[in-house]
Amino acid sequence: MHARAACRRASSRRSGCRRTEVAAKARPHYSTIPLNNRADTGGHKPLFFGAFARVGKALGHPTRLELLDLLAQAPRTVDALAHACGASVASTSQHLQTLWRAGLVTREKQGLHVRYQLASDDVVELYASLRRVAARHLAEVEQATRRFLDDGTDEPIDAAALHARMRDGSAVVIDVRPVEEFEAAHLPGALSVPLGALEARLAKLPKRKEIVAYCRGPYCVLAVEAVRRLRASGRRARRLEDGVREWTARGLPVEGAQVSA
């Protein structure tokens, strides 16, 4: 009797071992690393998306976008940026701090002033991508373009065509942005003729060659107004559909302090 009981126990142990082996083969492999030492598969989301959202939030105000547009032309102090965008110094400073916290701009102290500039060229690319998406998906961008940039007679020239005409000397190129933006970077051979000085400089501009005006980019009205005034004076004029940043993005050369720095 005792022998039979011992035999049953031995058989049960062998059967249990076989079940354990089968279960071990079927069971998926799990890491033995303690849970608190492994990446939390869900806890990372707030970190990543929170950082992405901080950049998105920094872009979510018209004044901050205008500041990026201005800084894409040249570094500036807070006072200069406030004057350029028509806002108070206090308000401009707050917007710049938001951009700085999002990593989109850098800043340095210069005496009594703080000078801001874009953190890198990819900030320009980000801003350009935002504009393209808005133009593609928002009807009001097209409506505003027709209202402010296209009077029905506007035939802007593209970068490739202008580059060819600059090489053969068949066009005169004028930069109608403020002088500090021209000095930072401009198209090779372009003349600095800020819009406010255009009337006084008309006599020095040729009447037989076509004049191509450019400003800050596709949504800048300075070149549109310059073309209107040039045509009113009897000159042939067109605007470049892009600005300096778009020009360099196409791999075309520029001149200026930022280029040689």
pLDDT at 31: 47
Record the tokens describing residue 200, joined without a space: 């006084």
Q: Which residue is associated with the tokens 């009001």?
A: 140
**What pLDDT does 258 receive?**
72
**Structural contact between residues 119 and 104, judged by C-beta atoms closer than 8 angstroms:** yes
* Average pLDDT of the residues of the chain: 87
18: how many CB neighbours lie within 10 A of its CB? 10
Contacts of 31 (CB under 8 A, 6+ apart): 38
Q: Taking residues 225-239, report their average pLDDT.
A: 96
211, 261 Cβ separation under 8 angstroms: no
Q: What average pLDDT score do residues 105-119 get?
A: 96
Q: What is the mean pLDDT of residues 215-229?
A: 95
Fold of 49-123: Arc Repressor Mutant, subunit A (1.10.10)
pLDDT value, residue 44: 82
- Report the SS3 class of residue 172: strand
Per the structure block, which two tokens stand in for 9?
């126990």
Domain edges within the chain: 49-123, 147-255
Q: Please tell me which residue, 78 or 18, carries the higher pLDDT value.
A: 78
Dihedral of the CA atoms 176, 179, 180, 182 (nearest 10)?
50
* pLDDT score of 237 more than 60: yes
Long-range contacts of 228-232 (CB under 8 A, 24+ apart): 228/151, 229/198, 229/199, 230/198, 230/202, 230/205
pTM: 0.80
**pLDDT tens for residues 44-93?**
888 899 999 999 999 999 999 999 999 999 999 999 999 999 999 999 99
Query: Tens digit of pLDDT for each residue in 116-142?
Result: 999 999 999 999 999 999 999 999 999
Q: Taken in order 146, 151, 154, 156, is the CA torsion positive or negative?
A: negative
Predicted confidence at residue 172, as pLDDT, reads 97
Catalytic residues: 215
CATH level 2 (architecture), domain 147-255: 3-Layer(aba) Sandwich (3.40)
